[in-house]
């Protein structure tokens, strides 16, 4: 591994559990590399601003909810000169700081890999299927309705040995570690996706650039995933809009693969 590594981390916060945010920031500050953390606050209040007084942390108040991808993109111009690696992180994850070392080692050994993500589990220890095939409309509908399990399982690579690293189509966006130059080369997230599908989209952009995405199951994180779009009609509608935008952008046939 290089003697000097500078990692930047961005977290987009919007009215979620403050305690979880504090816990993930505590883990970040224990990372052994030089680091800069950007907390992008899409909330309308400043209730988290006073919690993070540390020279490694920069608080960015937006004042309104501009969306997930746009929030992360706000800080692109702040880190592009010195950053070797950039971590896109949800405020509701937990991890051991040492996993960053291993993930960076893997990125350094794989010139063709632009993005790496670990195994993800729920707080109860069960597996989250965060590496996926590119979705079809039928799969997304089946997942929502809880039907056609065979199609859903195929989309989640359940036929594979997920204890072994491999190159999936896309990786869910709760923890995405990029080589910064590759994140910059694809211009970050497409801000037309307010929420949902932006992780699928950026993985397609990486693939189009000639690079790969690595699911690295030898290290793991915990994600307090609450499936917001299945609980709130407003988030469900946002999800539907994002799905249509995604298929329209990539001109993918509305059929199962």
- What single string gives the DSSP state of each residue in 182-226? HHHHTTSS-TT-SSSSHHHHHHHHHHHTT-EEEEEEEEEEEE---
Say how far apart CA 117 and CA 114 lie, in whole Å: 11
Say how far apart CA 87 and CA 221 lie, in whole Å: 14
Least confident of 149-153, 177-181, 253-257: 253-257
Longest dimension (CA), the chain: 51
The model's confidence at residue 231, banded by pLDDT at 50, 70 and 90, is low
Distances (CA, A) of 42 to 20, 124, 142, 242: 16, 29, 32, 19
Residues 6+ apart with CB under 8 A from 146: none
24: tokens are 């993930």
pLDDT, one tens digit per residue, over 186-213 is: 999 999 999 999 999 999 999 999 999 9
- Under 8 Å between Cβ of 175 and 221: yes
pTM over 0.85: yes
Percent share of the chain, pLDDT over 70: 93
Neighbours of 230 (CB within 10 A): 11
Distances (CA, A) of 190 to 109, 117, 168, 193, 198: 28, 20, 20, 6, 7
Q: CATH assignment of 6-135+160-226?
A: 3.90.550.10
pLDDT, one tens digit per residue, over 7-51 is: 999 999 998 899 999 999 999 999 988 999 999 999 988 888 888
């Amino acid at each position: 591994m290089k003697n000097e590594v500078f990692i930047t981390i961005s977290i987009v916060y919007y009215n979620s559990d403050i305690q979880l945010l504090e816990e993930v920031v505590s883990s970040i500050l224990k990372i052994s590399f030089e680091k800069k953390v950007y907390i992008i606050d899409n909330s309308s209040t400043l209730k988290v601003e006073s919690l993070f007084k540390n020279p490694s942390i920069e608080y960015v108040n937006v004042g309104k909810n501009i969306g997930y991808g746009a929030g992360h993109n706000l800080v692109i111009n702040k880190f592009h000169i010195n950053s070797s690696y950039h971590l896109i992180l949800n405020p509701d994850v937990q991890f051991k700081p040492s996993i960053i070392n291993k993930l960076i080692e893997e990125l350094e050994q794989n010139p063709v890999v632009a993005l790496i993500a670990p195994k993800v589990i729920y707080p109860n220890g069960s597996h989250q299927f965060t590496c996926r095939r590119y979705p079809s409309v039928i799969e997304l509908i089946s997942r929502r309705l809880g039907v056609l399990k065979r199609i859903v399982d195929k989309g989640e690579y359940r036929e594979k040995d997920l204890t072994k690293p491999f190159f999936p189509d896309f990786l869910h966006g709760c923890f995405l570690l990029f080589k910064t130059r590759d994140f910059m080369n694809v211009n970050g997230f497409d801000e037309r996706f307010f929420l949902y599908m932006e992780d699928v989209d950026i993985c397609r952009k990486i693939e189009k650039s000639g690079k790969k995405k690595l699911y690295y199951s030898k290290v793991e994180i915990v994600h307090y995933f609450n499936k917001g779009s299945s609980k709130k009609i407003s988030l469900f509608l946002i999800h539907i809009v994002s799905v249509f935008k995604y298929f329209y952008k990539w001109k993918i046939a509305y059929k199962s693969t």
